[in-house]
Structure 1
């Protein structure tokens, strides 16, 4: 692949363009808002103009409800020899393309399973797709050259290709992406009218649960509306579980605390929570591998410049590999905690090493 065009320079489009430009592909940036395309270009993602001749591949980085219309427009304008998209819903756009008479031989649907809670070109990262699944949904009419170009795109962006039918894709992402986002948003919405004191007590657990609720509301409205059948099916099962939880809690609310411990409703709650444990254990670990249970070392930080860099430098000096990092700010604004996650029995060595450097470890 020598040339490419990215249509839509938000988070995903800009990240694709940055990855391609980094690999030496001449990339053209197209957006209805030309200032957004110019911003992406200023980041090094490519050139904010139309190409003079058809490019090898055009990547349509637009909302699911717009994919078919954008494909029709650019196929008529001969923007590219082959086309793919990155939308998170596949079946309805595919049906719309067929209804519009688009050339499906030169098109293969695509969806990288990567993202951030931030949006826009400034949130773009060339390494966003590294090691992440990238679903491709070729249809019966898809020519081999189009599939080959899409596979090359995935390789250049560092993704891991997964081939699915559009229907299987939409049911899968409803379960692992769309419904989780909706539930995070519903929980975050409860905070809007919550008492100020209650919200100030929020810790890392609430931040983890609601982090993705910060995503672009207009984009997610389009996604949920386009994939409504699959989302409704999964959400219906969640609603059944919630109804069961509500019945159990109301039963427990009617008895005293001692009786509640042995009440049948408590047993039902325990079963539901155990199902949650089992489901969580199925989520793949790093690089798609077997999930690993990490140990946590929580270090108290003073709120001053360079404090995080210092603790990470001292942690590095212990020789312990840090698998993940989480930050939690205290409500007084003067201190915070950094949680360093490490594998196996490395926590003791890390704790001892940091204490030698004078760091206060939170038990």
Structure 2
């Protein structure tokens, strides 16, 4: 594989581009979000110009509902010899490609099972997929050449290929990802109007259960809509178990006989949960750092953003995220907020001073 176009420069798209660039593949970037695309380019993920000729593979790192339309558009332009995507739902893109008149022979569905707590290109890592499962969902019409390109992509990114039927994939992620996100959101929703003194006595258990509820609602609405039936099936099973739990808890006020049976039901449900938890791979928890935003004035010139990133990263400071705004008074300059660990701020300020950057007082994130 010599050349790839990555469409979509969020966390996954930029991570794929970084991994491929590190392996010597020429990567071209495309995104309607020009800030994200420029950031990815500044990080060394690839080039923003149009490919001079048809690339070997196009990777569509866009939401599930947009894969079909973007793929058909790329096919009509002759962007690549083969196509894949990185969406977390697979049956919908396969169906829409056929409905929109696309060519399913050059497409193999893909879903790298990796992610991060944060989104956007600055959260991207070239090693994000190393050792992680990467599902490929070829259809009966997928050419062997397209599947081989997908397999080579997974290999170059360090992933572990897993071949699945699109519908089986969607049922799997409904159980392991999509329904858990909704359960987390439902629990977190109980907190929205809760009394403050209740929130103050929350512990790590609540943080664990509600952590993923902080995901982007627009993105998750898109994902859940695209996999609605499979997710609803899992939630119906949850609802049945929830009904048993409610009945077991209400029965604690009954006579000894019903109360004993209810207690046995409660223990069995808890034991079943413990058995299921034991099958989940353990992952060491990481305590989130406290971040602050350091605003920096940047000239609107080619390469200025890359020079700023290089100044900070070369000193060993990790940029956790970035926000970019143009100045209202001077369109020739922009304001870039670098989100860094609070302990790094004094060093970052000295570094900016030494390299001629103009910064403002940092903004704590609350």
Q: Are residues 1:3 and 2:3 paired?
A: yes
Post-superposition shift, 1:200? Answer: 2.2
| Structure 2 Cα separation of the partners of residues 328 and 166 of structure 1 | 35
| Structure 2 Cα separation of the partners of residues 194 and 25 of structure 1 | 52
Post-superposition shift, 1:196? Answer: 1.6
Q: 1:281 aligns with which of 278, 281, 288?
A: 278
| Structure 2 Cα separation of the partners of residues 112 and 186 of structure 1 | 26
In structure 1, the gaps of 5 or more residues are 287-323, 330-363
Post-superposition shift, 1:197? Answer: 2.1
Task: Give the structure-1-normalised TM-score.
Answer: 0.76
Post-superposition shift, 1:84? Answer: 0.1
| Structure 2 Cα separation of the partners of residues 328 and 3 of structure 1 | 37
Residue in 1 that maps onto 2:26: 26
Q: Are residues 1:270 and 2:263 paired?
A: no
- 1:99-248 equivalence runs, <5 A: 99-248=99-248
Post-superposition shift, 1:2? Answer: 1.1
Secondary structure in 2 matching 1:265: helix
| Structure 2 Cα separation of the partners of residues 14 and 328 of structure 1 | 23
| Structure 2 Cα separation of the partners of residues 208 and 44 of structure 1 | 34
Task: Give the structure-2-normalised TM-score.
Answer: 0.75
Post-superposition shift, 1:285? Answer: 5.1
Secondary structure in 2 matching 1:59: strand
The 8 Å contact of residues 179 and 234 in structure 2, kept in 1 or not, is answered as: yes
Q: 1:327 aligns with which of 278, 287, 290?
A: 287
- 1:29-40 equivalence runs, <5 A: 29-40=29-40
Residue in 2 that maps onto 1:52: 52
CA RMSD of aligned residues (A): 1.9
The 8 Å contact of residues 110 and 136 in structure 1, kept in 2 or not, is answered as: yes
| Structure 1 Cα separation of the partners of residues 155 and 148 of structure 2 | 11
In structure 2, the gaps of 5 or more residues are 290-366
Which ranges of 4 or more aligned residues in structure 1 deviate by more than 4 Å?
A: 259-262
